[in-house]
Structure 1
Amino acid sequence: MSTEAPRLHPLHRAWQMLPARSRRLWLARGSAWLAPKPARVPPPGASGVVVGGEIDRASGLGESARLMAAALHALGVPGGAIEAGPGVRAGRALSDWPDRSALVLHVNAPVLPAALLGLGRRALRGRRVIGFWAWELPTVPEHWRPALPLVHEVWAPSRFTADALRTLGLDHVRVVPHPVAVSPPAPSALDRQAFGLDPEALVVLCAFSLASSFERKNPLASIEAFRAAFGDRPDRVLVLKAGHGEHYPADLARLRDAVGEARNIRLETRTLPAADMHALTRCSDMVLSLHRSEGFGLVPAEAMLLGKPVLATDWSATTEFLDESCGVPIGYRLVPARDPRGVFEAPGAVWADADIGAAAQALRALADAPERRTAIGQAARHAAQVRLGTAGLEAALAAIGVPVPGLAT
């Protein structure tokens, strides 16, 4: 049997020799040219909303779509939710969708053309098409630009993301924060014993998905700050909840190396149902997020709704709902954004490096002040309920002419 590698076509070899940034741009342009396009002028109103996205996938954009679908149901807005994304064919018949319903696609610009190809031209007929886009840097790569003619407008989960999208020249971006408070976390009955945690220890939780960029989530900073604050104290425990580790073995290895022999740092890599994940948060005393950037920040938002004090880098989208009145913002310095995977990069983009010393000091102060932790947690819950409701979504619906009957009882 021959073991010789298959020969690549000369054009394929030439394509591979192009810089990754150039390949992304040409792919985006080509797919946008092939994709079906909505009518140039959007319909004046809509009778409801269909939410499209990774409805059945454990991802940030998937959760984004689910949260919006739940909020629309709570508001009594007709519509539904469908799977949409690269390689996904519309699973529901068009007759099942409300007439003239707006189509809100929680699919980022680079893969939006592929999602539209899956939906087909008929799905766009007579509909206002809206892209719900999330991004975590203050500027946006050029390969997002070809998708602009494929949507009538864009919604973003934060002012931070909306400002970034405007660097593309967009003037039709609405800020629609995720309505997390409408579907607050519902923890399961699991307690500390179920997670193998000492009931008397102070537990700090750092939860993140490795699929969302190791460098951006910056878990090594949380390990460094925790060690600076508590050393090897057995009554102080850091739980690192790392999602999707099976797909990123090199990143998981970096985490294991950083943890080393520390007995007071737990690396939790199991895939937990959402209710059990919320139970783990409830079992914690505080949540630590020394991220370099967030386009929204679901983990801090959900922790706040569970009444937990959150320590988070005081930059990007989390600052829009977490401040000194309801959390512990951590200082930072801005540095050039460098992502080894090449995903979170854009010309001139920066992100934040949290102040490790300040984070360690804040951890020690909160660890020794249970009453302060309780007060911050209560303020956090109230702030999240007020700031992360349906107001932004209702305003966006009114702007496109969708009647909002009111909250369901």
Structure 2
Amino acid sequence: MSLLRSVWSRLPRGARREALFTLTAALAPRIARPAPPPSLPLTVAGYFGATTGLGAATRRLAAGLRDQGFEVGEADLTGPLRQGPAGPPPAVPAGPGTLLVHVNGPMLPWALLSLGRRAVSGKRIIGVWNWELPQVPRDWDRGFAACHAIWVGTEFVAAACRRRDGPPVRVVPYPLPRPTPSALRRQDFGLPEGAFVTLVVFDATSSLARKNPLAAIEAHARAFGDAYNHILVIKTHGTSNAGSGWVQVAEAAAARPNVRVIDAALPRNDLWALMASSDALLSLHRAEGFGFAIAEMMELGRPVVATGWSGNTDFMRGPGCHAIGWHLVPARDPQETYDMPATCWAEPDIDEAAAALRRIAADPALRRPPPIRLSPPDYRQALELTGY
């Protein structure tokens, strides 16, 4: 066994990925054909136990369905699909129903294999997908054959997933929870009361090149230099798994006396408190499938300065929304999550971002725009259960 593991570890990452997805697609249970009609009960399968963005999105989906009166079963795929520590084995009742599988295209056959033939048989299978580029990689082809329909959060992702011969794709935006900040205040985060605080939030394992914190540090420096009363807070987690790219970000942050790094997975209410304690959100991403932090800051009534490209453009409108110009460049990602140089993502205008931050800092009225609440999705319509 150790010899096999040694050989496997020496294979290039792409070869390991291709072998794994080919094997799981061959072994996965086949979905029913023709597609079963829409039916209850509902089960959401996904990364309920993961601290990643996909984990948060899975939990939001299940909570949003319950808020609209649905009884929802949960099947945690975090352990079986190696996205975090193992929880209870995923269990799905046999028989008809609808299975919402919140894993991306190449992982979908593996998810169905983990759930088992008994769980999949006779059910309507909906893949709930997230992606951040205008095209999906070729290894997503297996996912198109493993579902009856696809849900995505924004029109940007829908455009990447629609195929003439593929399953129907429906835009079903994620529900946003009401802001529930804890009692923590600025001093609890080590932030001075009188400072103008700009916040950057990201998961370091997602892709540093995509989240682009180096551009945020540079934009803040061009806006305010090293002024002690203008603080940039970088809230992240997962840096130990982010490779050498994080070293570069950490060094850039350490070189600026007014940049603070919070490297920790905060409880949800404490993260709300940090966001509420900040004066603006800065997201100079190169691509976003949705952009939860942007939408959440809009809900809190805080201005957002963000790249005006990709999924966040579906909802980033109105007072307090400062869309930054961009130009397209080849998508190169040293972490290899989004390394697709044949397609493109955005390079934001750092000077424009710096100018927006200066305007907001100088005008108290711009620092407190009216809160913007996004409309929740109509899950009954999305599930085609209007006759139930």
**TM > 0.5 between the two?**
yes
Deviates more, 1:184-193 or 1:199-208: 184-193
1:41 aligns with 2:34: yes
Are the counterparts in 2 of residues 90 and 118 from structure 1 also a CA contact under 8 Å? no
Are the counterparts in 2 of residues 228 and 360 from structure 1 also a CA contact under 8 Å? yes
1:111-190 correspondence to structure 2 within 5 Å: 111-166=107-162, 169-180=165-176, 183-190=177-184
1:73 paired residue number: 66
Could you say what secondary structure the match of 1:111 adopts? helix
Could you say what secondary structure the match of 2:297 adopts? helix
Q: Aligned Cα RMSD in Å?
A: 2.4
Distance 1:313 1:140, change over 3 A: same
1:55 aligns with 2:48: yes
The offset of 1:194, in angstroms, is: 0.4
Distance 1:9 1:73, change over 3 A: closer
Distance 1:93 1:341, change over 3 A: closer
Superposed CA deviations along residues 107-165 of structure 1, whole A, max 9, x for unmatched, are: 11222222211111000122101110101000111111012221111111111111111
The offset of 1:26, in angstroms, is: 4.1
The offset of 1:325, in angstroms, is: 4.4
Q: Please, which of 221, 224, 242 is the counterpart of residue 227 of structure 1?
A: 221
1:107 paired residue number: 103
Can you give the 5+ residue segments of structure 1 that lack an aligned partner in the other structure? Answer: 1-5, 405-409
The residue type equivalent to 1:373 in the other structure is R
1:385 aligns with 2:371: no
The offset of 1:29, in angstroms, is: 2.4
Are the counterparts in 1 of residues 287 and 346 from structure 2 also a CA contact under 8 Å? yes
Deviates more, 1:224-233 or 1:271-280: 271-280
Are the counterparts in 2 of residues 25 and 142 from structure 1 also a CA contact under 8 Å? no
Are the counterparts in 2 of residues 311 and 327 from structure 1 also a CA contact under 8 Å? yes
Q: Please, which of 320, 324, 328 is the counterpart of residue 330 of structure 1?
A: 324
The residue type equivalent to 2:162 in the other structure is R
Cα distance in 1 for residues equivalent to 2:278 and 2:76: 34
Are the counterparts in 2 of residues 85 and 118 from structure 1 also a CA contact under 8 Å? no
Are the counterparts in 2 of residues 188 and 279 from structure 1 also a CA contact under 8 Å? yes
1:248-397 correspondence to structure 2 within 5 Å: 248-323=242-317, 325-346=319-340, 348-375=342-369, 378=370, 381-382=371-372, 384-386=373-375, 389-391=376-378, 393-397=379-383
Could you say what secondary structure the match of 2:250 adopts? helix
* Structure having the larger proportion of residues in helix: 1
Q: Please, which of 1, 24, 34 is the counterpart of residue 31 of structure 1?
A: 24
Cα distance in 2 for residues equivalent to 1:372 and 1:72: 35
Identity in percent: 40
Could you say what secondary structure the match of 1:385 adopts? coil
Give the structure-2-normalised TM-score.
0.92
Are the counterparts in 2 of residues 205 and 281 from structure 1 also a CA contact under 8 Å? yes
Cα distance in 2 for residues equivalent to 1:79 and 1:259: 43
Give the structure-1-normalised TM-score.
0.87
The residue type equivalent to 2:126 in the other structure is I
The offset of 1:100, in angstroms, is: 2.6
Are the counterparts in 1 of residues 380 and 386 from structure 2 also a CA contact under 8 Å? no
Cα distance in 2 for residues equivalent to 1:213 and 1:93: 31
Cα distance in 1 for residues equivalent to 2:312 and 2:5: 47
Q: Please, which of 217, 232, 247 is the counterpart of residue 241 of structure 2?
A: 247
Are the counterparts in 2 of residues 100 and 126 from structure 1 also a CA contact under 8 Å? yes
Deviates more, 1:26-35 or 1:299-308: 26-35
The residue type equivalent to 1:258 in the other structure is A
The residue type equivalent to 2:381 in the other structure is A
The offset of 1:184, in angstroms, is: 2.0
The residue type equivalent to 1:192 in the other structure is R
Return the structure number with greater relative CO, CA threshold 8 A, min gap 6.
1
1:3 paired residue number: none
Are the counterparts in 2 of residues 45 and 402 from structure 1 also a CA contact under 8 Å? no
The offset of 1:169, in angstroms, is: 4.9
Cα distance in 2 for residues equivalent to 1:350 and 1:20: 22
Can you give the 5+ residue segments of structure 2 that lack an aligned partner in the other structure? Answer: 82-86
Cα distance in 1 for residues equivalent to 2:223 and 2:173: 34
